[in-house]
Amino acid sequence: MTDAVLVLNAGSSSLKFALFELHADLTRLAGGQIEGLGGAPHFIAKDASGAVLTEKRWPAGEGPDHEAFLPELLDWVEDHLGEDRLVAVGHRIVHGGGEYTQPTRLDEAVLAKLDRYSPLAPVATRFGLPRAYHDQGVRRYGFHGLSYEFIAGRLRELDPALAAGRVVAAHLGAGASLCAMSDGVSIDTTMGFTALEGLMMATRAGALDAGVILYLLQHDGMTANALEDLLYKRSGLLGVSGLSPDMRTLLASDRLEAREAVELFVHRIVRETGALTAMLGGLDGLVFTAGIGENAAPVRAMVAQRLAWMGADLDEAANGEGPPARLISTSASRLKLWVIPTDEELTIARHALEVAARA
């Protein structure tokens, strides 16, 4: 009998999971996700080699929500554990405020405290607001910490010299952010009090002049709920293109609006990279990760082209294809460019075992 760890990683319309066996280290047994929750859900599970184990689709409006799907997922996990014994379950919590900054064993008291942070969903933490608001918790927190923790560790394995230097890690997916790392430690990030700040994302607006919010409230009479829906679900790549939040669809489209959405996405990445470079006092490398960062070669090429003034020189062949983790800059490039797949689930599993060992 082998010990096993289950990882759950819930998003606004998805629930990812991964199942690991514990040997000398954690070994992935299976993983997958259900996406489209609240719309037309699609559940898929794969083994460690990528072979599909289970796949199921529901018609729009007839599928489960997060809560209804969880028992079905747990039944699936139990069926596939075999002789393994489940010893820990790790779940990503979007926001722990200033109180929960380390992996924590969940109980009723902790859950009650976490509930206070549900509306919110690094070093530079303060806004230019009266100090009393900061003391109440209105501050910059940052997000995608699990991904950046994994990238920092993986970069130390792949390129120790760069990992000890000044790096911007770009987590580019449906949610997108940049993190400035000095010797593997985060010193600044583009996300802040909520996951709305910073880069434009799949359906989120990113950084926005606060005056726009006032305008929408005063002139359009929008309610708080309507604003939340606009900023979280109808903006970003979807809003600008009027076509899709999916970068693959936009890159394949010949519509002007799709091209404009991609251009704006890249523009914001480049602008924020410049700001984080200033905070680092220079830049030695840029790491692309997450769905868009790992798979959208044209986006990486556009970013590299606009960072040529910083010494970025892209290896077109390496950018187009190669192993999952690879250097995509030329030997002449002053700025190292890496593609490194992230693994938030593995990071959660490791922390879950640490917490279980302390219990």
Q: What is the pLDDT of residue 349?
A: 77
Stretch 212-218: mean pLDDT, rounded? 90
Q: Are 178 and 169 in contact (CB under 8 A)?
A: yes
Beta partners for residue 326, in sequence order: 339
Kindly tell me the sign of the dihedral angle through the C-alpha atoms of 293, 298, 299, 304: positive
Considering the domain architecture, whether residues 73 and 169 belong to the same structural domain is answered as no
Whether 27 and 150 map to the same domain: the answer is: no
**Of 91, 118, 134, at which residue does a domain stop?**
91
Tell me the average pLDDT across 51-64. 79
CB distance 111 to 155 below 8 Å: no
Nearest to residue 266, comparing CAs of 284, 250, 278?
250
162 vs 168: CA distance, rounded Å: 11
CB neighbours (10 Å) of residue 230? 18
Question: Are 337 and 329 within 8 A, CB to CB?
Answer: yes
In a domain, 61, yes or no: yes
Q: Which DSSP symbol is given to 329?
A: B
Environment class of 224 (CB within 10 Å of its CB; exposed 0-12, middle 13-18, buried 19+): exposed
Whole-number Å distance between alpha carbons of 77 and 95 = 26
Asked if residue 153 and residue 64 are part of one domain, the reply reads no
Q: Residue 119 has what pLDDT? A: 41
Domain end marker among 28, 63, 91: 91
Percent of the chain whose predicted confidence (pLDDT) is above 90: 36
Last residue of a domain, one of 51, 71, 91: 91
Residue 106 lies in a domain: no
Question: What's the rounded Cα separation, in Å, for the pair 52 and 33?
Answer: 12
Strand order across the 285-289 sheet: 185-189, 176-182, 166-172, 285-289, 336-339, 326-327
Is 183 part of a structural domain of the chain? yes
Q: Is there a single domain that holds both residue 184 and residue 260?
A: yes
In a domain, 352, yes or no: no
Same domain, 159 and 79: no
Residue 182 lies in a domain: yes
Strands of the 14-22 sheet, one edge to the other: 52-57, 42-47, 26-35, 14-22, 3-10, 85-91
- Residue 118: per-residue pLDDT: 43
One domain, residues 158 and 303: yes
Helices and strands in the chain, H and E counts: 14, 12
List beta partners, residue 19. Answer: 6, 30
Q: Which tens digit of pLDDT belongs to each residue from 146-204?
A: 788 889 888 988 999 999 999 999 999 888 999 898 888 888 888 777 778 889 999 99
pLDDT at 142: 58
Q: Rounded to two decimals, what is the model's pTM?
A: 0.73
120, 196 contact by CB (below 8 A): no
Which residues neighbour 71 within 8 Å (Cβ) at sequence distance 6 or greater?
A: none
Per the structure, the count of domains in the chain is 2
Would 37 be classed as within a structural domain? yes
Looking up residue 330, the CATH number of its domain turns out to be: 3.30.420.40
pLDDT of 95 strictly over 60: no
User: Which residue segment(s) compose the domain that 256 sits in?
Assistant: 145-344
Between residues 12 and 274, the one the model is more confident about? 274
- Determine the Cα–Cα distance for residues 254 and 346; give it in Å rounded to an integer: 38
Q: 154 and 84 share a domain?
A: no
Domain assignment present for residue 354? The answer is no
| Within a domain: 105 | no
Question: Per residue in 234-292, pLDDT tens?
Answer: 999 999 999 999 999 999 999 999 999 999 999 999 999 999 999 999 999 999 999 89
pLDDT exceeding 70 applies to what percent of the chain?
A: 82
